[in-house]
Structure 1
Amino acid sequence: MTEPLDPDMFDPVCPSRLVPLRFGDKWAGMVVRCLEGGPRRFSELRVPLRGVTAKALTKSLRGLERDGYVVRNAHGRRVEYALTPLGRSLLGPLNALCEWAEDHWDEMLDAREAADVR
């Protein structure tokens, strides 16, 4: 059994929301990060992704599955999502991108604030 996901995994002020490169959609990188520790049920994924609607999460999971990053496993009525080997290969680049975002957090926020003022 995997440990429960941290509800504050993606705090609203977390740099993960500012990562400039996205694959799939807004939630894809965060879904991959949630699946890093092992298979998860849909309801488990919604805990740290508290801003996602069921429709948007379904769309994101289907897109990740279509692209070969995630596999959907049905065990009777229980459905879990897990990273494929291809999906796991994204973890290194995703870690590097998150580290970059943390290093440039203030610059990105300043740029966004300046653009919003204009």
Structure 2
Amino acid sequence: MKNILLATLILFTSTHTCMSAEVIDPDLEPKILPNLIKAKKITKKPRGKLRKKPRKRPMIYHHYYTTTIEKNCDRYINIINEKNKEIEALSTEIKHLRENKYEIMRQQLKEEYNKELKKFEEKRKSY
């Protein structure tokens, strides 16, 4: 039974590959150009002696550690707090500038609206 199953499996795969490997369109076949076949391969010759690769030395691990604290994190915490204060100041300044910009835009839009309203009223009175 195993031999029959193996034979059918081999037969199926070989016929499937033969059918799928056939070229349908002869124009799609790759063509080898004759001038590329005869081209010689150009190689560079070394000018001098080749450099040797540097010798890899084994890593040396020191298994002694100092337990004393050399630096304190308070300095970094102070720097972070200063930067946070700067960020807050800049964000309030940006908010203030935006409010001023919006106020200027509101005034400009109000003036344009009033001008258009006057034109509309003049046209309305003329009729």
- TM-score normalized by the length of structure 2: 0.19
Q: Is the helix fraction higher in 1 or 2?
A: 2
Higher relative contact order at CA 8 Å, sep ≥6: structure 1 or structure 2?
1
- TM-score normalized by the length of structure 1: 0.20
Larger Rg: 2
Q: Is the strand fraction higher in 1 or 2?
A: 1
